[in-house]
Amino acid sequence: MNSKILVWDFPTRTFHWLLALSFTGAFVTGDSERYRDINLLLGYILLGLIGFRLIWGIVGTRYARFISFLFAPRAIAGYVRSMFQGKPQHYAGHNPAGSVAIFLLLGLGLLSSLSGLASYNEIGGEWLEELHELSANTMLAVVIVHIAGVFVSSFLHRENLARAMITGAKPGEPAEGIQHRHVWLGLLLLAAVLAMGYAYLYKDWAPPGLTPLSQQPVATEKRKQDD
């Protein structure tokens, strides 16, 4: 098992790091009135990313497909047992324990972004705001467990899983590797996110619930001063 094989295609890696950045950004701006719009914009980006991942989980490459990491409770228990025995079973894609965190992260990401966007657009009441806060806080807890799990698994398997999420490559049997990186699709995903930020910052565009920059009090005040 010394050869490196391609496990994570480019769209999955791009999705992962964009999701990590947008969740972190949305979480740290969540309590601030000043950064409300950034929080909301990142919520839209998060929702778009998860929407993309739900489709890619059906039509994507071998290890990106949900079916490849949908494990029965017995398999999850067996994997955890093998970890405690110091002989963890090796999986080319997501391992059974990690997959639980991944489904939770996707579900909580969906719930927190939808409840947040609905609250900002004044749909629903206080309970929706509370649901938003609860789902975001729970997601943070799962992210911490997820990162700890990545380090523990990396140690137990003597492989750098975080690096694999950057390069896409892991040690494995050549027959287990995927054939295509789909770089174009990852770049398209990145371009869509950048385009959204660009349109908001420079083209005076804003999605529902957000005020275009030119109509914000600071901009209006500045225009008055310039006149």
Q: In 96-123, which positions are buried (b, 16+ CB within 10 angstroms) versus exposed (e)?
A: bbbbbbbebbbebbbbbbbbbbbbbeee
95 binds ligand HEM (CB under 6 A): yes
CB nearer to ligand HEM: pick between 106 and 185: 106
141 binds ligand HEM (CB under 6 A): no
Tell me the C-alpha distance between 20 and 25, whole Å. Answer: 9
Give me the sign of the Cα torsion angle 165, 167, 173, 179.
positive
Amino acid at 111: L
Q: Is 209 left (phi over 0), alpha (psi -120 to 50) or beta?
A: left
Using CB under 6 A as the binding criterion, the count of chain residues that bind ligand HEM stands at 22
To ligand HEM, the closest distance from the beta carbon of 219 in angstroms equals 31
CB nearer to ligand HEM: pick between 156 and 199: 156
Tell me the C-alpha distance between 78 and 54, whole Å. Answer: 27
Closest CA to 79 of 58, 101, 105, 63: 101
**Element counts in the chain: helices (H) and strands (E):** 8, 2
Candidates 100, 106, 111, 178; binder of ligand HEM (CB under 6 A) is 106
196 half-sphere exposure, CB direction, 13 A CA radius: 20
To ligand HEM, the closest distance from the beta carbon of 73 in angstroms equals 18
Candidates 5, 165, 199, 213; binder of ligand HEM (CB under 6 A) is 165
Measure the CA dihedral 82/84/85/87, to 10°: 50
Tell me the C-alpha distance between 57 and 9, whole Å. Answer: 12
Candidates 162, 188, 194, 201; binder of ligand HEM (CB under 6 A) is 162
Candidates 5, 134, 145, 150; binder of ligand HEM (CB under 6 A) is 150
Find the part of the chain contacting ligand HEM (CB under 6 A) among 129-137, 140-148, 190-198, 218-226: 140-148
182 binds ligand HEM (CB under 6 A): no
Find the part of the chain contacting ligand HEM (CB under 6 A) among 36-44, 93-101, 120-128, 176-184: 93-101
CB nearer to ligand HEM: pick between 81 and 163: 163
Residues that bind ligand HEM (CB under 6 A): 12, 15-16, 19-20, 23-24, 53, 64, 94-95, 98, 102, 105-106, 143, 146-147, 150, 161-162, 165
